[in-house]
Amino acid sequence: MKYQSKPDAVLLLEDGTVFYGKAAGKVGTATGEICFNTGMTGYQEIFTDPSYYGQIMLTTNAHIGNYGIHADEIESEQMKISGLICKNFNIQYSRPDAKASIQEYYEEENMVAISDIDTRALVRHIRDKGAMNGIISSEIIDINELKKQLAEVPSMEGLQLCSKVSTKEAYFYGDENAALKVAVLDLGVKKNILRCLADRGCYLKIFPMNTTFEEMQAWSPDGYFFSNGPGDPAAMPEVVENVKKVTATGHPVFGICLGHQALALSEGIGTYKMHNGHRGINHPVINLATGKCEVTSQNHGFGVKGEDVENHPTVEVTHRNLNDDTIEGIRIIDKNAFSVQYHPESSPGPHDSRYLFDNFVANIKAHKN
């Protein structure tokens, strides 16, 4: 094994806290909201998840990169995180199928990272103080200069970011001879969501986030899907208006993550920025209809206001988080629409909630007949 010396690097938090570590990935500077993910596997899917756009990923697992990089384990074509904070940045990897090391991957993607950080202390700090902006640098060590740059970084609250990751042109996915057609509004859709729908006999047309309802309707879809994505859901009123028009048609609707929040907003239900958010692959959620617990994959920093749902005459709670009792799923009683806050496509994560795609397809078939 060839040992390499690592240049120094520094992490500065919005509240003035400083952590020192070592440079990893590309030498440079990165800014964004720091969030932590508790998953022990699936780092490549996390790096490429569009919902992480604008955020610096802090991994609680001690080893990142230990099984290398594989071309198939991506949720979009490029990394979407702003940077990485980890304990051990493992350049050596053990998996024969891997095609590159994490260092090679980060250099190719021009991604900045910092390693050799006491991630347990950092996670505890953020857990107590709440999510906050930060800056990592392996080229600037002067704290005063970093403070100036960090002061220019906007808060995640109020940011509309889905336009940064949405497709610019519509495209198709799946078998064009499939019996069902589903219009997907891309707010930052993950590839595995498209796979889960296509595997169930759906032919998909994925539309840019600024597509009007009339443009989607012109394709004559059998159902509509609103995807996950980054940013503040309250900052995309045009999307919410489209959701409102779609649900009024009576066609089946399914939303995940940001799509779930957009569905709630279309019914006059508010959203809020969470203290930390939920990010990991082992979050327990109860299905209130069955009483069963599902172990779920999650990635969100905003949530739906529980009191608004509970006081709404035509919206019911279908799922709740067993850790903090937050809303994880809703159904519109007088419309053919439901949504969940978590990620049933589970990439990475357990497959407990894949049945939701089956339910959506069943709703489409019932509506057609």
Q: Show the 3-state SS of 2-49.
A: CCCCCCEEEEEECCCCEEEEEEEECCCEEEEEEEEECCCCCHHHHHCC
Choose the final residue of a domain: 150, 174, 190: 150
State the SS3 of 97-165: CCCECHHHHHHHCCCEEEECCCHHHHHHHHHHHCCEEEEEECCCCCHHHHHHHHCCCCCCCCCECHHHH
Tally of domains in the chain: 2
Are 144 and 167 in a shared domain? no
And the tokens for 296? 């779920």
Residue 156 counted as domain residue: no
Residue 190 counted as domain residue: yes
Widest Cα–Cα separation across the chain: 67
What's the CATH code of the domain at 140?
3.50.30.20
Residue 75 counted as domain residue: yes
What's the CATH code of the domain at 189?
3.40.50.880
- Please list, in sequence order, all residues whose beta carbon lies within 8 angstroms of the beta carbon of residue 167, skipping any fewer than 6 positions away: 186, 206, 207, 208
Are 176 and 90 in a shared domain? no
Are 133 and 273 in a shared domain? no
Distance CA 132, CA 118 (A): 17
Choose the final residue of a domain: 115, 150, 185: 150
Choose the final residue of a domain: 101, 123, 150: 150
Are 13 and 143 in a shared domain? yes
Strand extents, DSSP E, 103-159: 112-115, 132-137
- Name residue 252's amino acid: P
Residue 155 counted as domain residue: no
Are 200 and 115 in a shared domain? no
Are 139 and 224 in a shared domain? no
231 and 160 Cβ atoms separated by less than 8 Å: yes
Distance CA 185, CA 207 (A): 5
Between the CA of residue 8 and those of 86, 137, 140, 298, what are the distances in Å? 14, 9, 10, 33
- Beta strand 63-64 with 83-85: parallel, antiparallel or unpaired? unpaired
Distance CA 112, CA 187 (A): 25
Q: Tell me the CA end-to-end span of the chain in Å, nearest whole number.
A: 64
Distance CA 343, CA 356 (A): 10
Distance CA 336, CA 64 (A): 42
Residue 206 counted as domain residue: yes
Are 176 and 279 in a shared domain? yes
- The neighbouring-strand residues paired with 133 are 33
Residue with token string 């357990």: 350
pLDDT value of position 54: 96
Are 171 and 46 in a shared domain? no
Residue 119 counted as domain residue: yes
pLDDT value of position 1: 44
- The neighbouring-strand residues paired with 20 are 10
227 and 262 Cβ atoms separated by less than 8 Å: no
Distance CA 240, CA 256 (A): 14
Are 167 and 130 in a shared domain? no
Structural domain that includes position 43? 8-150
Residues known to be catalytic: 257, 343, 345
Are 229 and 254 in a shared domain? yes
Are 104 and 180 in a shared domain? no
265 and 233 Cβ atoms separated by less than 8 Å: yes
Instruction: Give me the tens of pLDDT residue by residue for the chain, a chain 369 residues long.
Output: 455 678 999 999 999 999 999 999 999 999 999 999 999 999 999 999 999 999 999 999 999 999 999 999 999 999 999 999 999 999 999 999 999 999 999 999 999 999 999 999 999 999 999 999 999 999 999 999 999 999 999 999 999 999 999 999 999 999 999 999 999 999 999 999 999 999 999 999 999 999 999 999 999 999 999 999 999 999 999 999 999 999 999 999 999 999 999 999 999 999 999 999 999 999 999 999 999 999 999 999 999 999 999 999 999 999 999 999 999 999 999 999 999 999 999 988 889 999 999 999 999 999 998
Distance CA 39, CA 61 (A): 7
Residue 2 counted as domain residue: no
Are 272 and 363 in a shared domain? yes
- The neighbouring-strand residues paired with 316 are 331
348 and 342 Cβ atoms separated by less than 8 Å: no
SS3 286: strand
Residue 157 counted as domain residue: no
